[in-house]
Each structure stands twice: as structure tokens, then as C-alpha cells.
Amino acid sequence: MKLATFKSADRDGSLVVVNRELTKAKAVPNIALTLQAALDNWSEVEPQLQQAYQTLNRDKCECIPFDSCLAAAPLPRAYQWLDGSAYLSHVERVRKARGADMPNRLFDDPLMYQGASDNMLGACDPIEAANEEWGIDFEAEVGVITDDVEYGVSIKDAAIHIKLILLVNDVSLRNLIPDELAKGFGFLQGKPASAFSPVAVTPDELGAAWEDSKLHLPLMVYWNERLFGNANAGADMQFSFARLIHHAAKSRKLATGTIIGSGTVSNYDLTRGYSCIVEKRVVEIIETGAAVTEFMRFGDKIQIEMLDGQGLSIFGAIEQEVSPCR
């Protein structure tokens, strides 16, 4: 099943079911007005949404042509956004560039930060920044949305709480981050609003590509229309989404509608390119002693998308442009 949230006068937008080919959409106000409302009562609502989805795929209907740019983030404001760092090739390179090794514990204990969830960007919303010198970067990721997760959930039980999967652009302001992290309290100003794919899908939609709470497909990243990365999101993912949920819920429960990100997708195989600029820069530092690639400028474009085995876009594309803050 594929779901999206269309922008509307309401802050939470309007839930729509989208067909498999992403060509048409249908509001389902008799089932749920918003995605959060559906998640609040998921076990009851999901079968009804699945039925609407089957009908939409099969029949001609009075429906709206689907356009990614009509879409807000699936959850335009969410109660929780947690971002992991599950790809250790990314972590290892960033550390190596500053002369730090990889402590053993990082192979067992996931990095994760609590991010801002009050304003989530739609797939076509601009990346607004007040200052081009802040080091504007993208981070292409996979994310999941959970239902209610119990306090201290086991890894095994965590997997069943994954209700939806989507793509994320975790926008980062690299030049604000070093000072911020030096203060010791994590990210705040360095991690402004993230953007999400127009569509979120249920795990069954992914077939064999969804295995062990990992999504085994390449994540395509185009920067200014040139391929920048196509790392496989299933390869080199040290911590599965079930593992990340288990980590997040060690000392508290998680409310339905919690979004958990994988962290920047990255492979040890450098021919797969990069899912963020900073990783390319650190490889340049390791190889030549200096970073050459610059961060994003106003007018720069980023596209993030994932195709299935038939070349069909699964989630629709995140397609953003960097623009000065209005």
C-alpha cells in the first residue's frame, strides 16, 4: 500500500491513497483524515486503507492525478524523529578524515540523535537557508514509521512495529555542526527541517527487497542532475531498523507516528558514490589531503529516489532546490 499526505488548509494535510504506479490518488475521509489519525488507530484502519488501495489499483475511479509536488511530508508534523547512523562506512570515513579510529563499541552500539519533528518538508519544498556559508548538505536516507512501541522492546519484537517505509533527506548545515557538537548536547542548529519522499509504503509493497528490517535496493542520489550516489541501502547496514527501534526504546516507549531514519546510506564500495557531500569531502581529504567538492549553493538541486526491480519509482522522488530564506 502507498500513502501520501496532500497539502491542505489544515496543518496536518489530507491523507490520500496512491496507486502503485504513482499516477493517481484518492482521499479517504471516511477512513481517516490524516496519516497521524490513521496511525493512532492503525490495526483497525489499515485493512480499510488496504482495501481502498486495491480498488484504486484495479478500477477506474474519480480520483486526482498524483503529483509529488502536491504532497506534504507524509507526517507534516510528527511527534518524534530519531535518526540513526547505521552505515559504518560513513562513520569510519568521517572519523578517519579527522584522524580518529573506530572504537569497537561503535560496531555494537548505534549512534542516534533526537531530531526536530515540528516542521517536516514535503518532497518538493525548498531547502531554505539564511546563509549560504553554513555548509548546506543533503543526507539521503531510508526511514520507517512505527506504531506504539513498548518500553524496552526486544529486537525481535521491534520489527513488527514497522508500519511504513519512506525516504528522507536529512538536511545538514555542516559548518554549524563542529561548534555545536563540541558543546556536547548534540545537534540543534546544524540539523534544520528534514524532507521526506512524497509517498510512504507498507513493508509488503517491497516484496523480497525488504528483509531483516533492511531495504535491499540502491538509493539514487542526483546532485544538480548528475548521479552522485547509488549505494545499496541493504548492504553495509550494520544496524537494522528493528535494532534501531530497540535502541531508541531502551528507557522509554515510543508513540505511534515515530519516524526513525537509517542515517546516511553508504557502502564500503566507493564506486557506489555518496549519499551526502561531506562523505565525498572526507574521502578527498583521506586521498589527497584536502577537500575539493564544495557544499550546496542557492539554486542547487538534489534528487533522491529508489526504483524497484522493474524501474518503477517506489516512493516518488524528493526533488528540492536550495533557496535563500524568505
Residue whose CB is less far from a copy of itself, 17 or 38: 38
Q: 1, exposed or middle or buried, with CB in 10 Å at 0-12, 13-18, 19+?
A: buried
Q: How far is the CB of 186 from a copy of itself (least distance, A)?
A: 2
Shortest spacing between CB 73 and a copy of itself, in angstroms? 12
> What is the phi-psi region of residue 31: left when phi exceeds 0, alpha when psi lies from -120 to 50, beta otherwise?
alpha
Phi and psi (nearest 5°) for 287?
A: -85, -35
C-beta of 2 vs 243, nearer to a copy of itself: 243
Q: Which residues of 47-68 are buried (b: 16+ CB within 10 A; e: fewer)?
A: eebeebbeebeeeeeebeebeb
DSSP letter, residue 122: P
Between 18 and 35, name the residue whose CB sits nearer to a copy of itself.
35
Length of the chain, in residues = 326
Tell me 209's DSSP state: G
Q: What is the CA radius of gyration of the chain?
A: 19
Shortest Cβ 304–a copy of itself spacing (Å) = 20
Spatial distance between the Cα atoms of 225 and 213, rounded to a whole number of angstroms: 30
Which residues are at the interface with a copy of itself (CB under 8 A)? Answer: 11, 40, 77-80, 82, 85, 109, 111-119, 128-130, 134, 151-152, 173, 176, 181, 183-190, 192-193, 247-248, 250-255, 257-258, 325
Strands 318-324 and 127-129: parallel
Q: Please list the residues that pair with 25 across neighbouring strands.
A: 18, 64
Residue 26 vs 191, nearer CB to a copy of itself: 191
CB of 185 to a copy of itself, least distance (A): 4
Q: Measured from the CB of residue 81, what is the shortest distance to a copy of itself in angstroms? A: 9
Residue closer to a copy of itself by CB (options 118, 269) is 118
Amino acid making up residue 49: L
Nearer to a copy of itself, 91 or 215 (CB): 91
| Shortest separation between residue 137's beta carbon and a copy of itself, angstroms | 13
Are the C-beta atoms of residues 101 and 191 closer than 8 Å to each other? no
